Structure 1
Amino acid sequence: MDPDRAGVPLRGRGEAGDVSNGAPAGRSLDDLDRRIVAALQLDGRASWSAIADLCGTTGPTVARRVQQLTDEGALKIAVMRGAGGSESHQFFFLRLKCGPTMALPVASRIAERPDVRFVTLLTGPHDIIAEVQVPREAGAYHTVVREVQTIPGVEAVIGELTLHVYKVSHDWARELLGLQPDDPVDTGEFEEFAFDAVDEAILDRLKLDGRASFAEVAEEVGLNESTVRRRFERLRSRRWAHVVTLVQAAALGFESEIQLRVDVEPARLTEVAQVLARRPEVRYLALPLGGNCLVAEVIARRTEDLYAFTTESLAALPGVTGWSASLELLTIKRGFVETPWWRSEVADVAAGLEVGELTG
């Protein structure tokens, strides 16, 4: 196998989240690591030589560093499903309040559900935010809420339907390569999608390793290579699937990841959404059913940048009447994929507590 061609698989990650020997929490990457990760965010299936050209290094160096970061649990390349609804499913936000010390166990249980797209622990009035894919059928929301309410440690659950997704950005570190951010607008790019059983099998395999070759995927799902390639390119061109590079924001030098709820005058929701979608620090933006508001995920390199965003951008935006925000503490799942570092972070914290108890 040519180690420089697109689609070369990464070794050492049979199952998402298998990070028993993962990197320490908050692992720091050097400048070249960061440029490589930024290039992978542009296209996680690009050839090593293409990535090397962007980063000013060699293909073998890129391959070696990506393999090391993957083995350490600092990086994961995966194929995620699009953020739009489907003909048979749509998305549902859950905001949870948990009992003392129960937020992490509850979030872990929720992340085990295959229908959960996103899970993170938060500061503020809610301990957890999760996004669930639910069937388009009567009683589906009630069933999800009832099931989550039975998890030990859950004290309160608020659910709301996702009406529209304006933006999902997977290449928020473009500046590390000297590139300008894209200028996305609400063009309906997150159209409803329809997967058949073959598409599901292909996506399930690529969720484990986004760089797996088409030949490998074809062998596992029982198809020929050209069929797998054609189907994957169709899913990708319609934005029904995305190749993404999961990495901690802190590892790339970003201090904060924020969950933001922006209160907006009802008549100006679309106008405000289109303005916010063009902001590079906004990497997710959606309209929930509950209240006149937009839900955004914001990433900030420094607290000063976050201050400027809120006081100069949000505060001056016509139609915005207020906002509330929470810090993301630990993201466990994103795009139906378990992050490769969360288990090692929890293990590091537990080990630190044990050492403290022994020495205290």
Structure 2
Amino acid sequence: MSELDLALVHALQIRPRAAWSDLAPLLGVTAVTLARRWERLTREGLAWLSVVPGPAFTRTRCTAFVLVGCAPAERERLAARVAGLTEAVTVELTAPGSADLLLDVLAPTPAALHRFVTERLALLPGVTGVECLFATSLYADGTRWRLGSLDAAQLSALDPAGSRERDGGAAPSLDALDRALLDLLARDGRLGLAELAQLTGTSAATVRRRLHRLTASDMARFRCDLSPALSALPVAVTFRGRAPARDVNGLHRTLGTLPECRLVAAVTGTANVLATYWMRDLGAVQHRETAMGARLPSLEITDRIVGVRTVKRMGHLLDAAGRRTGTCPIRPW
């Protein structure tokens, strides 16, 4: 991949729906060139952009991480079947150990999530066990991860104030139009206002107002994802850890600031911290754990779950090389 491809993806991680004409001067090419580059990246499954739940979702709905055990011969077949379930927004095959699959599961209520796990997931052929970890706080996720391909001047121009967390206020109630817009944008987050208006039978002005309300309240965020072919970080490892309750809220200030960090969450269970990192090789896993232990002496790592292949990421289906091949849109709202 070219340096321009990497810079384009990084720019869209910061400003996902920016006009090509706004990004062109910062990247030193024409708007037409950027449009063509993005079309090629999406066509080849190397990068994609979609809407995902924001912080308000975590506060008002339910997020969980589910570890699934299965018979060895059933791993691939089961992963493909689970990937077809809309509640399982991310599905990862893991190295044999404490689990065979690691899922991110979203639902409107804890009761709905419990029903999904016990009445649907656990009863699938080949499943030998499930462990459900409810997220009580989500400190970092994939919307905040950055590729690191832009220089300081470009970053300052794209995000002059610097990305900051904000209190989105009360979560809005959603109606049929909101859900229709979210469903379309879960497939393609760069659909234009006019196209969204046509597909939903409303006006572009109404679409603009609805999207502003959904994003300003942090019910939804836009996220640019990419294949490992672009990130050059093929190893995903999820650490489970245990820390005193008094320390958990402060751990994310260290865990989440590391550049490889994709996820930091406080979860239910005796191992009450979950953190996922993308790394260049397996040797980096030990180095990261050693550094975490030195900086966070109260954190005890209890398990290391190494991902061997992502089958589905936030509703997008991936092949063995990590390229997007299709979409099973998430509908947790």
Q: TM-score, normalised by structure 1?
A: 0.78
Q: How does 1:293-332 map to 2 (within 5 A)?
A: 293-301=272-280, 306-332=285-311
In the alignment, which of 16, 24, 31 is matched to residue 44 of structure 1?
A: 16
Structure-2 separation of matches of 1:316 and 1:137: 34
Q: Given the alignment of the two structures, is residue 269 of structure 1 paired with residue 248 of structure 2, yes or no?
A: yes
Letter of the structure 2 residue corresponding to residue 311 of structure 1: T
Render the CA deviation track for 1:316-347: whole Å, top value 9, x for unaligned: 31321224222222223333x214x3277699
Report the number of matched residues. 317
In the alignment, which of 55, 76, 81 is matched to residue 53 of structure 2?
A: 81
Other structure's SS at 1:69 match: helix
Structure-2 separation of matches of 1:326 and 1:190: 35
Cα separation, partners in 2 of 1:189 and 1:167, compared to 1, 3 Å? farther
Question: Contact 2:229 / 2:322 at 8 angstroms: preserved in 1?
Answer: no
Q: Given the alignment of the two structures, is residue 72 of structure 1 paired with residue 72 of structure 2, yes or no?
A: no
In the alignment, which of 216, 219, 226 is matched to residue 247 of structure 1?
A: 226
Q: How does 1:143-292 map to 2 (within 5 A)?
A: 143-179=116-152, 194-292=173-271
Partner of residue 91, structure 2: 119
Cα separation, partners in 2 of 1:347 and 1:173, compared to 1, 3 Å? closer
Question: Contact 1:97 / 1:156 at 8 angstroms: preserved in 2?
Answer: yes
Structure-1 separation of matches of 2:270 and 2:8: 41
Question: Contact 2:8 / 2:34 at 8 angstroms: preserved in 1?
Answer: yes
Render the CA deviation track for 1:112-147: whole Å, top value 9, x for unaligned: 122222221112321111122234365751453231
Structure-2 separation of matches of 1:263 and 1:250: 33
Render the CA deviation track for 1:46-82: whole Å, top value 9, x for unaligned: 1223333333322222111111111112222212222
Identical counterparts, % of pairs: 26
Structure-2 separation of matches of 1:184 and 1:313: 24
CA RMSD of aligned residues (A): 3.0
Structure-2 separation of matches of 1:295 and 1:195: 30
Question: Contact 1:82 / 1:190 at 8 angstroms: preserved in 2?
Answer: no
Structure-2 separation of matches of 1:268 and 1:213: 44
Cα separation, partners in 2 of 1:103 and 1:71, compared to 1, 3 Å? same
Letter of the structure 1 residue corresponding to residue 126 of structure 2: G
Cα offset, 1:247, TM superposition: 0.8
Question: Contact 1:165 / 1:190 at 8 angstroms: preserved in 2?
Answer: no
Structure-1 separation of matches of 2:110 and 2:237: 32
Letter of the structure 2 residue corresponding to residue 200 of structure 1: R
Other structure's SS at 2:250 match: helix
Question: Contact 1:39 / 1:174 at 8 angstroms: preserved in 2?
Answer: no
Q: How does 1:23-38 map to 2 (within 5 A)?
A: 29-38=1-10
Cα offset, 1:227, TM superposition: 0.8
Which has the larger displacement, 58-67 or 297-306?
297-306
Partner of residue 128, structure 1: 101
Structure-2 separation of matches of 1:172 and 1:143: 29
Partner of residue 12, structure 1: none
Render the CA deviation track for 1:248-280: whole Å, top value 9, x for unaligned: 234222242221212212221111123322333
Which has the larger displacement, 197-206 or 263-272?
263-272
Question: Contact 2:91 / 2:312 at 8 angstroms: preserved in 1?
Answer: yes
Other structure's SS at 1:161 match: strand
Structure-1 separation of matches of 2:268 and 2:171: 18
Q: Which sections of structure 2, spanning at least 5 residues, go unmatched?
A: 326-333
Cα offset, 1:44, TM superposition: 2.2
